[in-house]
Amino acid sequence: NILLALTTLFLLSCIVGEHGTCCMSVEERLALRSKVKEMFLHGYNGYMENAFPMDELMSVSCQGMETWGGYSLTLIDSLDALVLFGEVEEFNTRVQWILQNIDFDRDVNVSVFETNIRVLGGLLSAHLMYTTGVVDEPDYNGGLLGLALDLGSRLLAAFDTPTGIPYGTVNLMYGVPEGEIQITSTAGGGTYILEFTVLTRLTGDPRFEDAARKASTGLFERRSSLGLVGNHINVSNGEWTHKDAGVGSGIDSFYEYLYKGYVLFREPEYLHMFYDSAAAIEAYLHKDPWYVEVHMYNGVVVWPLYNSLQGFWPGIQALSGGQLDLAMDTVRAFHGIWRRFGAVPEGFNLLHGKVQPGQASYPLRPELAESIYYLYRVTHDPQFLYMGRDMVFGINERTRTNCGFATLNDIEATDLSDRMESFFLSETMKYLYLLFDDENPFNTGYIFTTEGHPLPIQLSFFSEEAAAGQSSVQQTTLNLRPFTKQEVQCPRMSFWQHIGVCELEYVPRN
């Protein structure tokens, strides 16, 4: 039975050592911070020297390739990371290059979702580095916002649908391609609240915020009677075409943006939508400590899988309050997979306790690092520092190449795919660096987009009601079913020793 199998796997993934340590030393934490910066610069310089101005680095053959549109994607996606890592001079130099060379008036089909989170988000965050005083550059004239406005206007064509849920693809010069498929994922249709609303707040053009709100509410209003959304939907008639509900691939950032949209803009509507969704997730998807996929209409489990994109969810639980125990146990279970393989696969079968066939790769994803970072910021529990250390060592030892870092084709083997996704620099390295840098100013006062772009929490972004102090919505805890984890003891011969992996130093929480 599925529940028995999941419980057994949880017991195997217990990482509490018999002899914990009180904390990670300052020296080790600073050494890890330095190591992450060295890794970031290795990847960034490898891209600039071997791939720029193309989109991404082919990190095995050390050459460039166009992937998401041909507009120096990795550079734009990494701009704010340069500031975060202290490379301000390089940031200023590359901003000037972008202002002189990037033009979005191009006959090219692009992913609306990826272009929004990687490019539009990157431009907006970099622009705000100047206007909020993080970077002092008196000669900056707002050019990045002009590029963002131009790009956002071109993406708007995709939102002209009967449901308001956007098409997945748009041509930057001509709009939605003729014959474009009418099916999109929930994440692809509902991950615009942050970037589009900031664009509206900065320019005064309401079209962007209106489009993002309509798309997200359009998806939410089509949830099932259980409160769940499906994985894919027809943007014309609003019918669900893929009815599996989960918190991973195809859905993840839709939920993420509901909560983060409330925090950044103080819009009560987004908080209500998040709370309603979170209650359904805990009621139907949570098989302690894991999350599975179920049929959105009857709650029957259809995929007893850990999906790597689920990794963001414990972080959102920690941020939103009221679910900290759930989040800590879930991220420990996710990290247990990392400890077993030195990476996490795209899919892991919880019923059989092994990598799901066809989902064995690790493309340098950031979601687990993101949740580890958020849980450390909320709890300051040193176990999360050690989890981050595991990730740093695993990434550096298993994926490093002469000019960057590369996707593991199979986490149970050693061969590498010839690609370094832009999100590795924009997210994975960023969250691991912040984890070990307690004093970094980006640790407070910012919301990170789903691509890791920091956006400042400021009064000018709030809704009119919140800015006037009239919003009645408070950040209360969710009224969910109680957490009733049975206390267990790790066996003397732990799972980690059994497979030849050293145990994690861990301090049990009081």
- At 475, give phi and psi (nearest 5°): -80, 75
Q: pTM for this one?
A: 0.89
The residues that are catalytic are 114, 252, 346, 367
Q: What values do phi and psi take at 190, rounded to 5?
A: -130, 30
pLDDT number for residue 502: 30
Q: String of b and e for 305-338 (b: at least 16 CB within 10 Å)? A: bbbbbbbbbbbbbbbbebbbebbbbbbbbbbbbb
**CA atoms of 508 and 510, how far apart (whole Å):** 6
Return the structure tokens found at 24: 């990670």
Residue-level pLDDT at 22:
58
For residue 21, pLDDT over 80 is answered with: no
Name the strand (E) or helix (H) holding 144: helix 143-155
The pLDDT of residue 462? 87
Q: What is the pLDDT of residues 315-358, one digit of tens each?
A: 999 998 867 899 999 999 999 999 999 999 999 999 999 999 99
| Residues 112 and 161: beta-carbon distance below 8 Å | no
Average pLDDT over residues 186-195: 98
Residue 191 burial class via C-beta count within 10 angstroms: exposed 0-12, middle 13-18, buried 19 and up: buried
| Whole-number pLDDT of residue 427 | 98
pLDDT (tens digit per residue) in 445-489: 999 999 999 999 988 888 777 666 655 444 333 232 222 222 222
Mean per-residue pLDDT, 126-141? 95
Whether the CB-CB separation of 343 and 398 falls below 8 Å is answered with yes
Q: How far apart are CA 144 and CA 167, in angstroms?
A: 26
pLDDT tens for 51-109 read 999 999 999 999 999 999 999 999 999 999 999 999 999 999 999 999 999 999 999 99
Residue 415 reports pLDDT greater than 80? yes
pLDDT, residue 323, reads 79
Q: Which tokens belong to 164?
A: 């308001």
- Give the model's confidence band at 14: pLDDT under 50 very low, under 70 low, under 90 confident, else very high: very low
